[in-house]
Structure 1
């Protein structure tokens, strides 16, 4: 029995004698099946290959990024945040090995894992078991969990304080339960918003964008984008980090608002100049 991992998106499935017929996450229109067809691996196979390692970067005081090299699956970045002694992993990456476990444990371990949306669930159960901690997922995305564990806490409502200074907000959009993490940073009160790709930082780092599907370029309706912006209006944050090592630095809260306005203007044909 093996726990098979989809090579395209990194989602791990429960132990079985044969690979699943298809990856549920990739078959859905927000993701895609690789043109060469469905392909599978396992965490053990990845570890034994010697091809992969996790790279840690100190992004700022209290926050490290974790990225797998070379890219695997979607290629997202996870973030390890420490606030007043509480250590939270924001989003997951598929690859996990002994060195990663040792590095994290030597620094203080993990107290919790929180997920923005289903594309980054990956090997979340392996991570939670390795560090003996709970996983926080919004209940609106419960149907997308492929491997269940008692460690998963399905939270409800529009916000959840995991620990002082670390609050999850459900924005929806990309997925119904799409969540972001607001980190108030007690050390210097310069709040940070971590968004996965519920909100995506674009090439011009002064702007962000919003999509139903990024790989398939399916936009969100104007009403949903404005609702996301409205939910964030009460929050102050100077920086915003997405899942691909991009950030907006300086008045990121205002960047989200003006980006939402530009997005809606484009949908309504008001952005195009004669």
Structure 2
């Protein structure tokens, strides 16, 4: 499945879900979890492997989210718990934010959907099993130049980009910044019945009421994003038409009016940052 030897496993951090290069022993710590945007369990650093996860009962599941868009999730939580997305187009399929575990079942299902043309991710916490998916489909990995050094399993399939990159016609990577310098969104022009879809990971966070978005430098550590970064995110997305936003999990989803909601939510967020809100 991944080409790795059973004697030299790829090490997986179960806290963030990221993979490290095959080695006899795991690293002393996960550089993503020791960063202030993530966290190390109070009990200390833990490691697992793909084989251990399979033995523990991990399984993949693929669901259609809307015509031409399929979610890829896990039956058990791993890392930040993201649900990946496969955007299907006549020119090739784009895999976004892949989870940290995969099995033969998901590979068969993705092959039946036309395979994978390119793999990418919103930010380093969601790199997951990106190298395994790349190997399975001989697909390049597109990572923003600003964040590529966070991939702790180096691979020759990596290609870097900056600013904006069209992956296939109608599917565009947009570097927004914010959570990480290279934090990105994926714009799918044909999604939402031609009204446009934005896949954001947690570059933006859709709130539980599905009526607004918010912005965080670190969601788990409750650290807000400064005003200049919020404005940068909104500015990067403004040229694109999108009616719907899917964040990095099955729910919540911003189902309509997303262009206007992003602008309105950003201004409200900035009012709170500045203290321009009467609290009662």
Counterpart-to-counterpart distance in 2, 1:63 and 1:186: 8
CA RMSD after TM alignment: 1.3
Describe the superposition over 1:46-100 as per-residue Cα deviations: whole angstroms up to 9, x where unpaired.
1233x11111111100001111011111111100111224111011101111111
Q: Does 1:242 align with 2:247?
A: yes
Residue 8 of structure 1 aligns to a residue in which SS? coil
**Structure-2 residue corresponding to 1:148:** 154
Q: CA deviation at 1:143?
A: 2.0
Long gaps (5+) in structure 2: 1-7
Look up the match of 1:192: 197
Query: Residue 25 of structure 2 corresponds to which residue in structure 1?
Result: 18
Alignment coverage as a number of residue pairs: 272
TM-score of the pair, normalised by structure 1: 0.96
Answer whether contact 2:62 2:106 (CA < 8 A) is retained. no
Aligned equivalent of 1:42: 49
Look up the SS of the partner of 1:110 in the other structure.
Answer: coil
SS for the counterpart of 2:64 is strand
Compared CA separation, residues 187 and 251, structure 1 to 2 (3 A):
closer
- Quick one: distance in 2 between partners of 1:15 and 1:258? 46
How much does 1:187 deviate? 8.9
Please tell me whether residue 159 in structure 1 is matched to residue 164 in structure 2: yes
SS in 2 for 1:212: strand
Instruction: Please give the residue correspondences for 1:1-274 in structure 2 after superposition, counting only pairs within 5 Å.
Output: 1-49=8-56, 51-156=57-162, 158-185=163-190, 188-245=193-250, 246-274=252-280
Q: Conserved in 1, the CA contact under 8 Å of 2:231 and 2:266?
A: yes
Q: Deviations over 1:7-27 (max 9, x none)?
A: 111111101111110011100
Change (3 A) 1:2 1:186: closer
Contact 2:107-2:136 at 8 Å conserved across structures: yes
Query: Is the CA contact (8 Å cut-off) linking 1:55 and 1:67 kept in structure 2?
Result: yes
TM-score (norm 2): 0.94
Please tell me whether the aligned partners of residues 84 and 186 of structure 1 are also in contact (alpha carbons under 8 angstroms).
Answer: no
- SS of 1:174's equivalent in the other structure is coil
SS of residue paired to 1:140:
coil
Runs of 4+ in 1 over 2 A off after TM superposition: 271-274
Task: Give deviations 1:126-161, integer Å, cap 9, x for gaps.
Answer: 1100111011110000221101111111112x1000
Secondary structure at the counterpart of residue 81 of structure 2: coil
Distance 1:227 1:99 in 2: 40
Q: Which moved more, 1:28-37 or 1:223-232?
A: 223-232
* Counterpart-to-counterpart distance in 2, 1:142 and 1:70: 28
Tell me the secondary structure at the aligned position of residue 41 of structure 1: coil
